[in-house]
Chain A
């Protein structure tokens, strides 16, 4: 999953035949001034960051003249909005608004179908909309096998009470939006507001588009717009995270090695799979531990990938120990995990007498893993202990380490 920046989303919508406000991208105050002068009307300045609720964060501002646009841009550029530094702003003509509507298309995960959500009360976020006007929101399921027929788009706006030429125009816009949703493998396409101008035009004034990264193999054109791995962090990826994405992508077909850096913490966290990592992180935290990162290894990765990830985990400043723990594996060869992990420990010349390494690995080839880990001098457990017990062992080692390190 990857959220596109607004100008990219609008670029795609425009290519799909939708009207968007005239505007441009500025990376400096000077550029902002030029764009606003060219537009020659009051403008909107929007910080281009991949997060929601930008309005509430003060990242969407109005300017009456080019000088205002320039000074607002100066304030926004270099500021940080919900953890993301603003590197670019979008400057657009301020529309002459008659009405603001809401339209979005996404998947209903319970009903397992695409749904269209529409309302004539746009311009506020959808949570507020559903809270304040629950009766004025229309939710329409789309049959995934027959797609959205044109008549259905008319039914949607007719039910909302739209009439005349506007009904036909709005239906046409929705049909194009749905096709864009499909064409770009989006899992969310939200236009809020969909503006009806005083001269009757229907314009996508703001757009949010998130695309399915599982479909990137057939969306080569979107590659430059989506940062791989960005759904796994709440801020821009750190350098270490980017390196770990590279480690993972270097061998995309064998196993996964995912990494998310925590703000602080002292336990290097080398766990898997998807569910097992959650259990370990929760359990260490409940026992008073502070993992320095989150990670997930699974799907039988090659030794090189395990080696790369372990080195990454150990390289984070402040890491004082390493915890390696999986659920009992169905198909991941734990001897290969052992080889990659031990190589990383040796490569970084980790002194096991001062740097506790606790391992709980059981499953495919665990007899070999036990030999490897034991020979390397690592505190190894197999399926004689539970995952929780392994966490307890880790915390006992950590507490001793921290107590020993305390000045007497």
Chain B
């Protein structure tokens, strides 16, 4: 078990013929995930690493059972690609594209929400379920096992790069991940920390969740409320990066687009206090993740977890 992805996930890549999409397709297939179709308007009939390309998602869906899409198109075309995915019955969409205009993001996120379609991103490096060898997006690159091995820890990260680093730290601590999700660094994203916690709560494989956070947004406060309400009962370990930004004049972006402090809104210290009060383990130093995981999970989980 894991969340969002499994062996049955049937994946289409929208924009498959692009440089990045083609490379990711190659790595994803090599890892074992089922990319069964690709879409690029005007390039129907071609193949990318053996995957058939269609002009429209409609045509791809007529030929294949598809439930999951990765959208590799430039910012200006993301809204249309999401609309196409929603219209054709895709249930899970990953958007790696950075710099999607906010006016477009609100529209297509609303469209997906209304249709009951889950969106991860924009600006996500991907997500991965190592027990089933399924991944979406560039996550893990061509050397997936370096960072991502199966185990009992769920990872939710607002930073794509740190999704890998956190998962690698989990491995270094002697465990592995059930699912790691890069939720995207933009201000407007499809799934927030709080949106994913119920999935990890329901997943029997997941015994603890690690979140990597940054300044800005109120995602951590919402997650803390979720904890306080008793809706998430597993250990939650949080690291909130960017404390130094509190000593600088507010309103400046550091890191991702969403990473901005305004008044008390978005302050790492307040997020930390809030999460602590709700019962989360809040890490002072990033390296504390290793002993904290060991304390929370105990030594034997490393073996038990990798059986999934």
Binding site for B on A (CB under 8 A): 1, 52, 82-83, 107, 109-110, 112-114, 127, 143-145, 182, 185, 187, 212, 214-215, 217-218, 231-235, 260, 272-279, 281-283, 285-286, 294, 296, 298-299, 326-332, 363-364, 383, 386-389
Contacts and interface: CB of A to CB of B under 8 A. Distances in A.
A109 B287 contact: no
Interface stretch (B42-50, B63-71, B228-236, B249-257): B249-257
A145 B286 contact: no
Contacts of A218: 76, 101
A234 B251 contact: yes
Contacts of A82: 249
Interface in B258-283: 258-260, 263
Contacts, number: 182
Contact of B244 (A109, A285, A389): A285
A330 B164 CA distance: 7
B255 A274 contact: yes
B7 interface: no
A182 B161 contact: no
Interface residues of B, number: 74
Contact of A282 (B104, B126, B147, B241): B241
Contacts of B256: 274-275
Contact of B286 (A110, A231, A331, A388): A388
A182 B103 contact: yes
Interface of B: 20, 23, 75-76, 98-107, 109-111, 113-114, 125-126, 138-143, 146-147, 157-165, 168-169, 172, 185, 187-188, 192, 212, 214-215, 217-218, 222, 239, 241-245, 248-260, 263, 285-287
A388 B252 CA distance: 25
A273 B254 CA distance: 11
Nearest to A256: B98
B20, B143, B165 interface centre (most CB from chain A within 10 Å): B165
A214 B102 contact: yes
Nearest to A277: B255
A380 B212 CA distance: 26
Given A275-B241, A275-B255, A330-B160, A109 B187 contact: yes
A294 B160 contact: no
Given A330-B138, A383-B146, A214 B218 contact: no
